[in-house]
Structure 1
């Protein structure tokens, strides 16, 4: 099953042509609109016109965690702040968190990518997706949420934890898809077993794993 058959089934040649165009666009945008990258590329003597093939990605300098933190919070944004409609960050447990700003187009692309994955898994508008990924500054459950909405499914944004409540809603709502981290999925499975609940007692048809 395909969400966007034209994109998902394109030839290798067409895919590489698209990848090159997007790589060139990204480098040009970074060079022209992000002072950090303009300075870094100039120091490395790499310019947008130097990107002529996909192999030329090797010419680009690495961006490290140190670089990201040095540009905290908004130093790597390539658009005006007024165009950013959502901000997420890493946990920041080892230092300043790294910040990602999303435009409306970014969120649409994010949802589009998740929609492709869901469609490949056989999920559609008739499904109820119980999303146990966290909602907050960490990106967590938002991609699942946007992708589920894009395909027209019903999304239950229960977020992480509340295991007994998760199981209750699985049964009451007849959730057909459950998505979680592998470790939390194992925890739920152990709790179901302890409660004497078998797969036949649930309406699940798809299980998705993310993170870790």
Structure 2
């Protein structure tokens, strides 16, 4: 049976209600960016668009794109629509090709983030009876804390293992009775290879669910 976290939203069959919510939030986001971020005000003015001109969801096609270069060029806080006093956390990309892309989160952002992850893991089968081992890196990478807060919201037990230390990963997975794994696809594959290489019996594990992301997944994976 499919599990649902937020039935009012996830099971809403009223298309007009859904589109009204989407339009309200699109307008709010456009107004906030226009009024608080010089970059977006300039970009929208150049496109001949004002936030009040957004009358329907189809107007989304008229809004200019934001590129990866735009994010880098406005490093570190040039695209923030909130003052720093409202920003409770900073995350950033690795910056391997130059300056990292920075994201700032308000308390409200973190609540929305947690809610979205709660829906994802609930749809994937996780509930308060599960033990979830997070093998995403914690720190500036957004994934570790992103999954952590959402899983905590649904009441599951979290093993905040972070990435690496594979031998300990496998030990805790067995000793703690981990039922769900959060990891990159490649690291999940590596854990599987280590289990096979060390000839650890499959019955030693209670894994039922996997949540993989942060890198491309091929058909072979």
Following superposition, the deviation at residue 177 of structure 1 comes to 0.8
Shift of 1:5: 0.4
SS at match of 1:87: strand
Question: How do 1:3-152 residues align onto structure 2 when only pairs under 5 Å count?
Answer: 3-11=5-13, 12-152=15-155
Separation of aligned partners in 1, 2:153 and 2:37: 31
1:183 to 173, 183, 186: 186
Aligned length: 212
| Superposition deviation, residue 198 in structure 1 | 3.4
SS in 1 for 2:142: coil
RMSD over aligned Cα atoms: 1.1
Q: Which runs of 4+ in 1 moved over 4 A?
A: none
Partner SS state of residue 14, structure 1: helix
Instruction: Note the C-alpha offset of 1:146.
Output: 0.4
1:160 aligns with 2:159: no
What TM-score results when the alignment is normalised by the length of structure 1?
0.96
Which stretch shows the higher mean deviation, 161-170 or 8-17? 8-17
**1:78-120 superposed Cα distances (whole Å, 9 cap, x missing partner):** 1110100000111111111111100011111111111111111
CA distance in 1, matches of 2:46, 2:110: 33
1:208 equivalent to 2:211? Answer yes
Shift of 1:70: 2.1
Gaps of 5+ in 1: none
User: Could you tell me how far apart the structure 2 residues matched to 1:42 and 1:68 are?
Assistant: 19
In the TM superposition, what is the alpha-carbon distance from 1:125 to its structure 2 partner?
Answer: 1.1
C-alpha distance in 2 between matches for 1:157 and 1:135: 8
SS at match of 1:155: strand
Deviates most, 193-202 or 50-59: 193-202
* Residues in 2 aligned to 1:187 and 1:67: alpha-carbon distance in whole angstroms: 35
